[in-house]
């Protein structure tokens, strides 16, 4: 495997995904947690960082743990740190270099640049500049502004690039990472969905034996793939619980139950909407709403789980990005998240998390390989508290009904709208949903009558990991069609707006 040491860059996870796309297993670890005695490590990548090597708080690592023993690739801050530690010079120029640049000179005899073209486009994002490289290194790539854009030490097998090979805008970035991971580190590229399923099913059988397992389903991709995988491993010894809190999408409970039954899963569906609506009555504060839903959910789930008295395991669809130890620099709670399931108290259950090494796109590939329905696999993420975080102010059944109808029109039309290449607009969006601005009313006219009703906001974003997101540039004709249909068909709504905020500074959900 490849170890990626994280110095806090926004694109560290992206490096991980790129390495996995090369069918190579990798782990992302905090910069100071290099696994010293792990013989399966074949190479090390150092990520970028929000810090400058000169900052007092800058993350520092002892390079002697791996330099000289394993091939090393330093990216951005990683490159600067290697230069700085080896006696080179990193200077604060005061101006950030951000965006496209071209490799005017590139040494294609260097194994890292095999197949590179002169003038190849690279993406820069850095404040400091490396003005002198350490002894033993030589320059292998330069751009117009940055002479030391790439440099290497062949004897020690260290390669450094100031630009970001993991991002889309570095045109030959995938080739660079392939050169490193496959040619230099010698990955055999054996990590694939099929091999993952085969080995995981075997491990699960061994781990669980004839024990009974409980799993909380949410209708989302992760828990569904987790259930299907477990079902393949242990069959009828898996019992799933799907709680309806009443704030799911239109007809979702029924549709998802049908899909699960079609997959042969044993699912207990629990309609607990009465309890949720009554506990939420009159509550308007977003954090209070989230806390109540989270608490009620655990209560309902636990009560159900306790009925399965012989259960020994609780399975969860936790995926890798949920677990990567984050080097969060502020540590502030923006929203308290609620996820499906929770360890029932009083029950001594062991935790089983078969997807814990997978990125989202790998979970989807595994689902595909398991033969799950396409619609289920490619579903957008949906928040645990459901439509409750998309209704401003207090929550009533009537408001949920209005939002369900609007959401249904929006999402179905997103499936129907075809792009030039025949794919659905839905597939080009990371996540989409409607928000009921129920604390606001505006005047409209319908036929000859004055209306005084609520607006609905449409939200759609593009993203890689939900940490940052841009608003999706949806086609105008699509927006016009959705707006018409919602105002015409959904009683209680007389205006539709489109949310054009990116994250940060906004968030994806409104509450
Ligand atoms: P925000 O609004 O923080 O959302 O930008 C980021 C992503 O997380 C989803 N989300 C949740 N998912 N439980 C979940 O499982 C939650 O409580 C929750 N709140 C937000 C949101 O839909 C988006 O994909």
Q: Which domains does the chain have, with CATH numbers?
A: 2-184 (3.40.50.880), 193-377 (3.40.50.620), 391-498 (3.30.300.10)
Dump pLDDT digits (tens) for 161-218: 999 999 988 999 999 999 999 999 999 999 999 999 999 999 999 999 999 999 999 9
| Closest by Cα among 169, 111, 103 to 142 | 103
Q: Tell me how far apart the alpha carbons of residues 313 and 316 are, in angstroms, rounded to a whole number.
A: 10
Q: What is the DSSP letter of 349?
A: P
Residue 433 pLDDT more than 80? yes
Q: Please give the model's pTM, rounded to 2 decimal places.
A: 0.84
Atom 8 of ligand 1: nearest residue by CA position: 383
Binding-site residues from annotation: 218-224
Residue 186 Ramachandran class (φ > 0 left, ψ -120 to 50 alpha, else beta) = left
Quick one: how far is CA 489 from the chain centroid?
Answer: 34
- Which pairing describes strands 121-132 and 138-143: parallel, antiparallel, or unpaired? unpaired
* Ligand 1 atom index nearest CA of 385: 17
Q: Tell me how far apart the alpha carbons of residues 114 and 237 are, in angstroms, rounded to a whole number.
A: 51
**Window from 90-104, 329-343, 344-358, 395-409 with minimum mean pLDDT:** 329-343
Contact 269, 244 (CB under 8 A): yes
Atom 18 of ligand 1: nearest residue by CA position: 383
Measured in Å, residue 430 CA sits from the centre of ligand 1 at: 12
Q: pLDDT > 90: what percent of the chain?
A: 85
Measured in Å, residue 380 CA sits from the centre of ligand 1 at: 11
Residue 9 pLDDT more than 70? yes
Q: Tell me how far apart the alpha carbons of residues 185 and 72 are, in angstroms, rounded to a whole number.
A: 9
User: In the predicted model, what is the mean pLDDT of residues 436-457?
Assistant: 96
Atom 19 of ligand 1: nearest residue by CA position: 383
Q: pLDDT > 70: what percent of the chain?
A: 95
Residue 347 pLDDT more than 70? no
Residue at token pair 């604390």: 439
pLDDT at 31: 95
Buried/exposed code over 159-198 (b: 16+ C-beta within 10 A; e: otherwise): bbbbbbbbbeebbbbebbbbbbbeebbebeeebebeebbe
CA distances from 223 to 167, 219, 299, 311, 317 (A): 29, 7, 19, 18, 5
Residues contacting 171, CB < 8 A, separation 6+: 120, 121, 122
> Coil, strand, or helix at residue 140?
strand
pLDDT at 320: 87
Which position has the higher pLDDT, 338 or 22?
22
* Ligand 1 atom index nearest CA of 336: 17
Measured in Å, residue 383 CA sits from the centre of ligand 1 at: 5
Residues contacting 344, CB < 8 A, separation 6+: 301, 302, 305, 306, 314
Dump pLDDT digits (tens) for 62-121: 999 999 999 999 999 999 999 999 999 999 876 667 888 999 999 999 999 999 999 999
Contact 45, 4 (CB under 8 A): yes
Measured in Å, residue 382 CA sits from the centre of ligand 1 at: 7
Binding-site residues from annotation for ATP: 218-224
Q: Tell me how far apart the alpha carbons of residues 210 and 234 are, in angstroms, rounded to a whole number.
A: 8
pLDDT at 95: 63
Residue whose CB lies within 8 A of the most ligand 1 atoms, among 243, 245, 332, 337, for a mutation test = 337
Atom 7 of ligand 1: nearest residue by CA position: 466
The DSSP line for 448-488 is TEEEEEEEEEEEEEEESSSSSEEE----HHHHHHHHHHHHH
Residues with catalytic function: 76, 164, 166
| Packed helices 221-234 and 252-262: angle between N→C axes, nearest 10 degrees | 30
- Report ipTM (2 d.p.): 0.98
Dump pLDDT digits (tens) for 217-234: 998 999 999 999 999 999
Contact 176, 106 (CB under 8 A): no
Buried/exposed code over 380-415 (b: 16+ C-beta within 10 A; e: otherwise): bebbbbbbbbbbbbebeeebbebbbbbbbbbbebbe
* Ligand 1 atom index nearest CA of 509: 2
Q: What is the DSSP letter of 53?
A: T
pLDDT at 468: 82
Identify any residues that bridge with 459 across adjacent strands, giving them in sequence order.
433
Q: Tell me how far apart the alpha carbons of residues 430 and 469 are, in angstroms, rounded to a whole number.
A: 9
Q: Categorize the per-residue pLDDT at 237 as very low, low, confident or very high, splitting at 50, 70 and 90.
A: very high
Instruction: Round to the nearest angstrom and report the end-to-end CA distance of the chain.
Output: 40
Q: What is the DSSP letter of 393?
A: S
Q: Is 491 exposed, middle or buried (0-12, 13-18, 19+ CB in 10 A)?
A: exposed
Contact 107, 115 (CB under 8 A): no
Q: Tell me how far apart the alpha carbons of residues 186 and 16 are, in angstroms, rounded to a whole number.
A: 17
pLDDT at 321: 81
| Closest by Cα among 339, 354, 350 to 213 | 350
Atom 4 of ligand 1: nearest residue by CA position: 508
Dump pLDDT digits (tens) for 257-306: 999 999 999 999 999 999 999 999 999 999 999 999 999 999 999 999 99
User: In the predicted model, what is the mean pLDDT of residues 319-328?
Assistant: 73
Residues contacting 65, CB < 8 A, separation 6+: 34, 36
| Closest by Cα among 166, 191, 193, 189 to 363 | 193
| Closest by Cα among 184, 120, 106 to 150 | 106
pLDDT at 346: 67
Residue at token pair 């935790």: 351
Residue whose CB lies within 8 A of the most ligand 1 atoms, among 295, 383, 386, 465, for a mutation test = 383
Residue 340 pLDDT more than 70? no
Measured in Å, residue 159 CA sits from the centre of ligand 1 at: 38
Q: Ligand 1: which residues within 6 Å by Cβ?
A: 335, 337-339, 381, 383-385, 431, 466, 503, 507-509
């Amino acid at each position: 495997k490849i170890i990626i040491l994280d110095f806090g860059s926004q694109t560290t996870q992206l490096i991980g995904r790129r390495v996995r796309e090369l069918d190579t297993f990798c782990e992302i670890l905090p910069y100071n947690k290099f696994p010293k005695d792990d013989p399966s490590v074949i190479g090390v990548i150092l990520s970028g960082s929000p810090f400058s090597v000169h900052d007092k708080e800058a993350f520092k690592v002892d390079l002697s743990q791996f330099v000289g023993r394993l091939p090393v690739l330093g990216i951005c801050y990683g490159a600067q740190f290697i230069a700085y530690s080896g006696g080179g010079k990193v200077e604060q120029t005061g101006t950030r270099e951000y965006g496209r640049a071209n490799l005017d000179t590139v040494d294609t005899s260097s194994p890292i640049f095999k197949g590179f073209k002169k003038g190849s486009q690279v993406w820069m994002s850095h404040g400091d500049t490396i003005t002198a490289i350490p002894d033993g290194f030589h320059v292998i790539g330069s751009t117009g502004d940055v002479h030391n854009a790439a440099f290497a030490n062949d004897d020690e097998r260290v390669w450094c690039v100031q630009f970001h090979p993991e991002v889309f805008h570095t045109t030959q970035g995938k080739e660079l990472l392939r050169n490193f991971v496959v040619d230099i580190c010698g990955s055999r590229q054996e990590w694939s969905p099929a091999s993952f399923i085969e080995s995981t099913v075997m491990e699960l059988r061994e781990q669980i034996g004839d024990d009974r397992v409980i799993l909380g389903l949410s209708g989302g991709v992760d828990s569904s793939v987790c259930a299907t995988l477990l079902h393949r491993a242990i069959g009828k010894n898996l019992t799933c619980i799907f709680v309806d809190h009443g704030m799911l999408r239109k007809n979702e409970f029924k549709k998802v139950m049908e899909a699960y039954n079609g997959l042969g899963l044993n699912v207990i569906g629990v309609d607990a909407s009465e309890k949720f609506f009554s506990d939420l009555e009159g509550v308007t504060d977003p954090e209070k709403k989230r806390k109540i839903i989270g608490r009620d959910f655990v209560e309902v789930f636990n009560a159900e789980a306790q009925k399965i008295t012989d259960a020994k395991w609780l399975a969860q669809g936790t995926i890798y990005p949920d677990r990567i130890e984050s080097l969060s620099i502020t540590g502030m709670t923006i929203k308290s998240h609620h996820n499906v399931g929770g360890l029932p108290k009083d029950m001594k259950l062991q935790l089983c998390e078969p997807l814990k090494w997978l990125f989202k796109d790998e979970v989807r590939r595994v689902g595909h390989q398991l033969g799950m329905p396409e619609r289920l696999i490619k579903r957008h993420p949906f928040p645990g508290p459901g439509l409750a975080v998309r209704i401003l102010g207090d929550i009533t059944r009537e408001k949920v009904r209005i939002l369900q109808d609007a959401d249904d029109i929006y999402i179905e039309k997103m499936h129907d709208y075809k792009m030039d290449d025949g794919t659905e607009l839905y597939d080009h969006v990371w996540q989409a949903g409607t928000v009921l601005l129920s604390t606001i009313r505006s005047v409209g006219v319908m036929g000859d009558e004055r209306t005084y009703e609520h607006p609905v906001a449409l939200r759609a974003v593009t993203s890689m990991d939900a940490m940052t997101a841009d608003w999706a540039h949806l086609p105008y004709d699509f927006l016009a069609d959705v707006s018409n249909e919602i105002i015409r068909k959904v009683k209680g709504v007389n205006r539709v707006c489109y949310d054009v905020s990116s994250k940060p500074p906004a968030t994806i959900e409104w509450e």
